[in-house]
Protein backbone atom coordinates (compact mmCIF):
# COMPACT_ATOMS: atom_id res chain seq x y z
CA UNK A 1 0.00 0.00 0.00
CA UNK A 2 1.22 3.46 -0.86
CA UNK A 3 1.60 6.15 1.79
CA UNK A 4 1.21 9.92 1.68
CA UNK A 5 1.99 12.66 4.18
CA UNK A 6 -0.65 15.13 5.32
CA UNK A 7 1.18 17.93 3.49
CA UNK A 8 1.03 15.90 0.26
CA UNK A 9 -2.66 15.15 0.87
CA UNK A 10 -3.33 18.85 1.36
CA UNK A 11 -1.94 19.57 -2.12
CA UNK A 12 -4.29 17.12 -3.88
CA UNK A 13 -7.51 17.97 -2.02
CA UNK A 14 -10.35 18.23 -2.97
CA UNK A 15 -9.60 16.18 -6.09
CA UNK A 16 -9.26 12.84 -4.29
CA UNK A 17 -11.50 10.55 -2.22
CA UNK A 18 -10.60 10.45 1.47
CA UNK A 19 -12.12 7.66 3.58
CA UNK A 20 -12.12 8.31 7.34
CA UNK A 21 -12.35 5.02 9.26
CA UNK A 22 -12.56 6.47 12.80
CA UNK A 23 -15.58 6.08 15.04
CA UNK A 24 -18.45 8.57 14.72
CA UNK A 25 -17.53 10.60 17.81
CA UNK A 26 -13.99 11.09 16.48
CA UNK A 27 -15.24 12.00 13.00
CA UNK A 28 -17.75 14.64 14.16
CA UNK A 29 -15.10 16.21 16.41
CA UNK A 30 -13.04 17.12 13.32
CA UNK A 31 -12.19 15.52 10.00
CA UNK A 32 -10.55 16.28 6.67
CA UNK A 33 -13.10 18.28 4.63
CA UNK A 34 -15.24 16.12 2.33
CA UNK A 35 -13.97 12.86 3.83
CA UNK A 36 -16.32 9.90 3.53
CA UNK A 37 -17.03 8.36 6.92
CA UNK A 38 -16.97 4.55 7.06
CA UNK A 39 -15.83 3.24 10.47
CA UNK A 40 -13.25 0.45 10.34
CA UNK A 41 -15.69 -2.06 11.84
CA UNK A 42 -18.12 -1.48 8.97
CA UNK A 43 -15.65 -1.56 6.07
CA UNK A 44 -16.36 -5.27 5.31
CA UNK A 45 -20.09 -4.46 5.14
CA UNK A 46 -19.90 -1.16 3.24
CA UNK A 47 -16.90 -1.33 0.90
CA UNK A 48 -19.14 -1.72 -2.16
CA UNK A 49 -20.19 1.91 -1.60
CA UNK A 50 -16.69 2.99 -2.66
CA UNK A 51 -15.54 3.66 -6.22
CA UNK A 52 -13.23 0.98 -7.57
CA UNK A 53 -11.87 3.24 -10.30
CA UNK A 54 -10.34 5.78 -7.88
CA UNK A 55 -7.40 5.68 -5.54
CA UNK A 56 -8.80 5.88 -2.01
CA UNK A 57 -6.90 7.89 0.59
CA UNK A 58 -7.41 6.14 3.92
CA UNK A 59 -7.24 8.11 7.17
CA UNK A 60 -7.83 7.53 10.89
CA UNK A 61 -6.35 9.30 13.91
CA UNK A 62 -2.75 8.09 13.66
CA UNK A 63 -2.52 5.68 10.71
CA UNK A 64 -3.04 2.19 12.15
CA UNK A 65 -6.74 1.66 11.56
CA UNK A 66 -6.57 3.23 8.12
CA UNK A 67 -3.73 0.87 7.18
CA UNK A 68 -5.88 -2.10 8.25
CA UNK A 69 -8.82 -0.82 6.20
CA UNK A 70 -6.57 -0.17 3.22
CA UNK A 71 -5.12 -3.67 3.32
CA UNK A 72 -8.63 -5.15 3.40
CA UNK A 73 -9.75 -2.96 0.50
CA UNK A 74 -6.69 -3.88 -1.56
CA UNK A 75 -7.60 -7.56 -1.09
CA UNK A 76 -10.99 -6.66 -2.60
CA UNK A 77 -9.34 -5.05 -5.64
CA UNK A 78 -9.22 -1.38 -4.61
CA UNK A 79 -6.22 0.95 -4.86
CA UNK A 80 -5.49 2.66 -1.55
CA UNK A 81 -3.02 5.11 -0.06
CA UNK A 82 -2.58 5.44 3.71
CA UNK A 83 -2.27 8.93 5.19
CA UNK A 84 0.75 8.80 7.51
CA UNK A 85 0.03 10.33 10.91
CA UNK A 86 -3.69 10.52 10.16
CA UNK A 87 -6.05 13.21 11.34
CA UNK A 88 -3.79 13.89 14.33
CA UNK A 89 -0.99 14.97 11.99
CA UNK A 90 -3.50 16.89 9.83
CA UNK A 91 -4.74 18.78 12.90
CA UNK A 92 -1.20 19.41 14.21
CA UNK A 93 -0.18 20.83 10.82
CA UNK A 94 -2.94 23.42 11.15
CA UNK A 95 -4.95 22.31 8.13
CA UNK A 96 -8.69 22.99 7.89
CA UNK A 97 -11.05 20.63 9.69
CA UNK A 98 -14.73 20.03 9.05
CA UNK A 99 -17.06 19.25 11.94
CA UNK A 100 -20.27 17.25 12.30
CA UNK A 101 -21.57 14.42 10.16
Q: How many CB atoms lie within 10 A of CB 38?
A: 20
For every residue of the chain, DSSP letters joined together read: -EEE-HHHHHHHTTSSEEEE-S-HHHHHT-B-TT-EE--GGGHHHHGGGS-TTSEEEEE-SSSHHHHHHHHHHHHTT-EEEEETTHHHHHHHTT---B---
Given the residues 60, 69, 83, 89, select the one marked as catalytic: 60
| 60 classed as catalytic | yes
Residue numbers annotated as active site: 60
Amino acid sequence: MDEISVSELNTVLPNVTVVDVRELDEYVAGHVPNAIHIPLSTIPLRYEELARDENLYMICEAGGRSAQAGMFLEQQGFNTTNVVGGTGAWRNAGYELAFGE
